[in-house]
A and B are shown apart, each in its own frame.
Chain A
Amino acid sequence: MALKGNLRDFSITQLLNLINLAHKTGLLRIRGPKSEAAAYFRQGKLAYAALSDQPNDLASLLYREKKLTAGQYRAIRAHHQRLSDTALGLLLVNAGYFTQGEILAVVQSAYVDVIKRLFTWVDGHFEFHSNAPFPKGRIPTRVSLENLIIEGSRQMREWELLQNEIPDLDMALKFADRPDVNLKHLNLSVEEWRVVSYINPKNTIRQIARATKMNDLEIRRIVYGLLQAGLVELVRPANKSMPKPIHTALEGKTKEDQRSLVNRLIARIRGL
């Protein structure tokens, strides 16, 4: 089944959040206004990413990172034109030019840069192809998405969107039950850490903003990032009563009567 839409309605950070939480494997394709992007994920981790408007073979990446001289780059292009990234990487490691770690670091930072560029895209059709094969000959990485998501959220400037995402500052936050996320591995800013330190179902977002001296936009942006990274969930504040509790149909009845009423409904609907 489909996982497609437009970035206008479902942003890159939301997509990464989905891929991360669902531990998805597959290829994400995005058709932006000027170029196209492809990113591969394995079990919810970034394994590959490239943009159609820039060279993304290993030799070009190494050259761009100034790990190769212009002469070396030309030589590789001339003699090893047809080698895949994995084969070229192996050759360079075996010949003693680079360690495997150095190659991986360059590749990883290039993939991450692609994702960072995607954060500036506000329009573009996306499609996720579950279980598509990994792009042939490319060097796979395993980059956790949480840090990328938080970084992408920091760049959010659309007030209206943030307001829609977090309409009610009187909600509270609690840490999500996710054993695979370790706060220690996140690159949080000082402001973000301050917000995190106040997270407690008793504190509303508004109270946290006041305590950390943040305005509505700042607090919304940070909370949005933490939400998208799957770190926290919105909850009703523990000590807050319902705004105006409505009366339910079952009020004032004995448990026996309540059960009997619902069972009658069930029996009838089953028989429809």
Chain B
Amino acid sequence: MQTVKIVVTGPFSAGKTAFIQTVSEIDVVETERKITNESEKIKETTTVAMDFGRITIDEDLVLYLFGTPGQRRFDFMWEILSEGMLGFIVLVDSTRPETFREARRILETFRAYAPTPYVVAANKQDLPEAWEPEDMRIALRLSPRVKLLPCVATDKESVKKVLLELLYSILEEINHD
């Protein structure tokens, strides 16, 4: 049995757990905890270790989706998480420009560790406050070459599309070098 993994990262409350939950065949492994830090208390729970979802591909291949914790004090885990991954997805909450700077930092850190392909998903595009993906591209300083996809993490088709775009990028890279 072979396993491969894709890492889902992004700032606090970007929708990483929701994203993984939407396509995982198991309940996302419970690593949530009530938020104690008042400043980050915009919701009740946060991911403190990592999320963990699974998609069985066939008899001898399993895909794991790993979600990183969004709070900054878990930075040390990134290196461990990204070991052996196929690629990664950076989720950004399109309604909260206050998290864009953090998203840029995450992008730069991950790119430094991982020579793997990645895509960026502009999440929560169903909300009226959402910024346009193309505005976010500039705010996040993404070059035109990087895929930036509109996303609704609670919608299965939308999550599938993001995963597929990442896989297409991985395929392109294989065919390229």
Contacts and interface: CB of A to CB of B under 8 A. Distances in A.
Chain B associates with chain A: yes
Interface of A: 1-6, 8-10, 14, 17-18, 21-22, 164-165, 167-168, 171, 227, 233-234, 236, 242-250, 255, 258-259, 261-266, 268-270, 272
A22 B98 contact: no
Given A18-B139, A165-B101, A1 B130 contact: yes
Given A246-B113, A249-B86, A258-B174, 13 more contacts: A5-B97, A5-B98, A9-B100, A10-B97, A22-B135, A234-B141, A244-B79, A246-B79, A246-B85, A250-B174, A265-B4, A265-B57, A268-B63
Interface residues of B, number: 49
A245 B115 CA distance: 7
Interface in B145-162: 156, 160
A2 B138 contact: no
Contacts of B167: 262, 265-266, 269
B134 A264 contact: no
A269 B78 CA distance: 25
Interface string B58-90: 100101000000000000000100111110000
A14 B63 contact: no
B114 A233 contact: no
Nearest to A8: B98
A134 B135 CA distance: 21
Given A164-B101, A250-B174, A243 B160 contact: no
B132 interface: yes
A249 B85 contact: yes
A235 B41 CA distance: 35
Contact of A270 (B131, B143, B164, B170): B164
B39 interface: no
A9 B82 CA distance: 29
A14 B135 CA distance: 11
Contacts of A21: 138
7 contacts: A2-B131, A5-B98, A9-B97, A9-B98, A259-B171, A268-B57, A272-B55
Contacts of A270: 160, 164
B170 A247 contact: no
Listed residue (A233, A234, A250) with the most chain B CB atoms within 10 angstroms of its CB: A250
B108 A168 contact: yes
A265 B64 CA distance: 11
A4 B108 CA distance: 25
A98 B10 CA distance: 57
A272 B108 contact: no
A1 B85 CA distance: 35
Contacts of A242: 112-113, 115
A206 B160 CA distance: 41
A264 B57 contact: yes
Nearest to B81: A246
B120 interface: no
B174 A248 contact: no
A248 B115 contact: yes
Nearest to A4: B129
Given A262-B174, A264-B61, A265-B57, A3 B135 contact: yes
Contacts of B114: 246, 248
A8 to B, nearest CB: 7
Given A265-B4, A266-B167, A233 B143 contact: yes
A235 B83 CA distance: 23
Interface in B1-52: 2, 4-5, 23
